[in-house]
Chain A
Amino acid sequence: MTKKIDNILYIENVYKEYGERVILDDIDFCISEGEFCTVVGPSGCGKSTLLRLILGQELPTSGVIHFNGEPIGFADTRRGVVYQRYSLYPHISVIENVMLGKKLELGLLKSGRKLLEIRDEAVEFLSRMGLEEHQDKYPHELSGGMQQRVAIAQALIMRPKILLMDEPFGALDPGMREAMQVFILEIWEQSDMTILFVTHDLEEAVYLGTRIIVLSQYYTDGRGADVQRGAKIVADYELKYRAATTKAKETANFGMLVGKVRREGFDPKQRTHVTDFNLQHPDSFQSLTDIEKQRV
């Protein structure tokens, strides 16, 4: 098993516990640059916790998270983030929200010329999102879908190495959701950015990703029945066929894959043993303890 510690993101033996409760139970994986990696799993399995660890909003209880070969540390400009809610600052206009990161870079030395340059750049990002006519509005005056597009622009203007998205379209109605899925794919194809996209919607995960990681607490191992288990990565696929339109969701292949992932990760009755996980992706690896490997 080759360890790719110099990948853009490298995670090994990561545990996260809140008090007695184990949320993440020995997570290992790494991500290659340029990947659109979706993380999917049943609700409460710790998807968002994993994202917060990578973001640096929280620290793991134990384990290693490396970013470009170095320990990751607290949140910084190498990582952009779009949350389901609260991504935008309510007290400044849309354009100010997008300009914010670049303005912070200037610090106190705000020359008029520099500010104009930043404004132009922000307008350019907003027009890519199709929002240039809304630039002077406050966030609360926009629809949910528009707010999320502004949030994406706000993150992208900093040109992060990796964009972390936590259920970004979870609060949108189905039509808007689909439009945003197409939109984020376009954005991703135009840039060389790595995206880690957390969702509980299986179809969304299969449709968007070049790779899908299934996180689930439904599995068995040699630790016995009375151990409180956290979630592990139970499946990890490469998704080779990129979908051009949302029509792809209606094909038989798409349906079969969604069904397969659902059985592997979402069905409490169907538990796979840790040694039989379907970890096909080349960047996938697993470090199990001897007890875990035992078959009961």
Chain B
Amino acid sequence: MINICRWLRTVNSEMSDRISSEVRHPKFLGFAAKPPGKLKFFLTALPFILSIAIYITASQIRHAENPGDKILPTFTQMGDAVYMMAFEIDPRTGERLMLTDTVSSLRRIIIGMTAASLLGLVIGLNMGLFPGVEALSSVFITFVSIIPPLSILPIIFITLGVDEFAKIMLIFIGTFPLICRDIFLTVKKIPQEQITKSLTLGASQFQTTYGIIMPQVLPRLIDTTRLSFGAAWLFLIAAEAIVSDSGLGYRIFLVRRYLAMDIIIPYVFLITFLGFVIDWSLKKYVARRYSWYIKSKA
């Protein structure tokens, strides 16, 4: 803490050396604030540092009272648990459990989301361009999108069985209507001029739909898929919690019976980390592949 204070003081004095004009931006407070690089980094890290510090303190207090405490495990305990889950072969299944869980969860969520985004694209696109398709499906899809997906989870399990397909289906049903409606609205916002123009350039309706309009909504599709991943994780974990034999959500709910917080907490971090990596890579992909999308919006 003393070190941080000293460092902050040097940052401040560095800043006051660089007086270039009479009016300066404040460093932290107000609309016009411009935190300098180091301060910005510090501010970004601060909530993380604070949460970890609070956790460690609370964990130490509990362990001082009761060395066998399971509710707030120490980092050493969690490290041991992670080692066991990640590297030791489970005698019952002959697998490294953390790897098996990660692979089966990722498989489900990726298949489910790919299906939802591809079908959402095709249907949303056609709804946005063809008034007949819009009349046919717009209200129906809006209606379906309001059904809480978890409320029909029992129906899915009863009708589709309890294997992989049912879990993928829940992810699909939970995310498809939103993606579809978002693509529909995006296509609706494309000026009519662009469609007429394509006809004057000799495009057929098929060429206009899939050759001219679809490429324009692809980056938006990736964006909206990115945002739907949050919901997808929710449905995945709900499905795995109820019936499964592997998966990140399955494991969390399984070890809950033994109050195994030393496994649950690292697993939550693993899920968060996977979600973050997916989000980050999709964002980077859009920025790299669709520069016109980022820049013509600005």
A155 touches which one: B193, B200, B207 (CB < 8 A)?
B200
Binds B, one of A12-20, A27-35, A85-93, A261-269: A85-93
- Whether B292 is near chain A, meaning CB under 8 Å from some CB there, is yes
CB distance from B217 to the nearest CB of A (A): 9
A80 touches which one: B200, B212, B291, B296 (CB < 8 A)?
B200
B201 touches which one: A57, A77, A139 (CB < 8 A)?
A77
Binds B, one of A100-108, A114-122, A214-222: A100-108
Could you tell me which residues of chain B, from 260 to 297, have a CB within 8 Å of some CB in chain A? Answer: 290-293, 295-296
Q: Are B201 and A86 in contact (CB under 8 A)?
A: no
CB distance from B288 to the nearest CB of A (A): 15
Chain A residues bordering chain B, tally (CB within 8 A): 31
Residue of A nearest to B191 (CB): A86
Q: Are B211 and A75 in contact (CB under 8 A)?
A: no
Q: Are A91 and B201 in contact (CB under 8 A)?
A: no
CB distance from B273 to the nearest CB of A (A): 33
- Whether B196 is near chain A, meaning CB under 8 Å from some CB there, is yes
Could you tell me which residues of chain B, from 175 to 227, have a CB within 8 Å of some CB in chain A? Answer: 191-194, 196-204, 207, 211-212, 215-216
What CA separation (Å) do A55 and B199 show in the bound complex? 10
B203 touches which one: A81, A92, A104 (CB < 8 A)?
A104
Q: Are B291 and A138 in contact (CB under 8 A)?
A: yes
CB distance from B90 to the nearest CB of A (A): 50
**Chain B residues whose C-beta falls within 8 Å of the C-beta of A104 in the assembled complex:** 198, 201-204, 207, 211
Given A83-B193, A91-B216, A101:B295 Cβ within 8 A: no
**Chain A residues whose C-beta falls within 8 Å of the C-beta of B292 in the assembled complex:** 90-91, 138-140
Residue of A nearest to B208 (CB): A104
**Chain A residues whose C-beta falls within 8 Å of the C-beta of B202 in the assembled complex:** 76-77, 101, 104-105, 158
**Chain B residues whose C-beta falls within 8 Å of the C-beta of A183 in the assembled complex:** none
Could you tell me which residues of chain A, from 118 to 158, have a CB within 8 Å of some CB in chain B? Answer: 138-141, 154-155, 158
User: What is the predominant secondary structure among interface residues of chain B facing chain A?
Assistant: helix
User: What 0/1 readout, one digit per residue, does chain A (63-92) give for beta carbons within 8 Å of chain B?
Assistant: 000000000001111011101011101111
Q: Are A101 and B201 in contact (CB under 8 A)?
A: yes
Residue of B nearest to A105 (CB): B202
**Chain A residues whose C-beta falls within 8 Å of the C-beta of B290 in the assembled complex:** 91
CB distance from A95 to the nearest CB of B (A): 14
**Chain B residues whose C-beta falls within 8 Å of the C-beta of A80 in the assembled complex:** 200
- Whether A160 is near chain B, meaning CB under 8 Å from some CB there, is yes
What CA separation (Å) do A48 and B201 show in the bound complex? 20
CB distance from B153 to the nearest CB of A (A): 39
Residue among B191, B199, B295 with max Cβ neighbours from chain A (10 Å): B199
Q: Are A57 and B196 in contact (CB under 8 A)?
A: yes
Q: Are A91 and B200 in contact (CB under 8 A)?
A: no
Q: Are B216 and A89 in contact (CB under 8 A)?
A: yes
Q: Are A75 and B216 in contact (CB under 8 A)?
A: no
Given A86-B193, A89-B212, A90-B216, A140:B200 Cβ within 8 A: no
Q: Are B197 and A83 in contact (CB under 8 A)?
A: yes
B200 touches which one: A86, A105, A141, A160 (CB < 8 A)?
A160
Q: Are A55 and B203 in contact (CB under 8 A)?
A: no
What CA separation (Å) do A139 and B216 show in the bound complex? 13
What CA separation (Å) do A101 and B198 show in the bound complex? 8
**Chain B residues whose C-beta falls within 8 Å of the C-beta of A160 in the assembled complex:** 200
A-B contact pairs, 21 of them (CB 8 A): A55-B196, A56-B196, A75-B200, A76-B200, A77-B201, A89-B194, A89-B212, A90-B296, A91-B215, A91-B293, A92-B215, A104-B203, A104-B207, A104-B211, A105-B202, A107-B207, A138-B295, A139-B296, A140-B295, A141-B295, A158-B202
- B interface, CB within 8 angstroms of A: 191-194, 196-204, 207, 211-212, 215-216, 290-293, 295-296
Other A-B contacts than A75-B199, A81-B200, A101-B202, 15 sampled, CB-CB below 8 A, are A55-B200, A57-B192, A76-B200, A77-B201, A79-B200, A85-B193, A86-B191, A86-B193, A86-B194, A87-B193, A87-B197, A104-B203, A138-B296, A155-B200, A160-B200
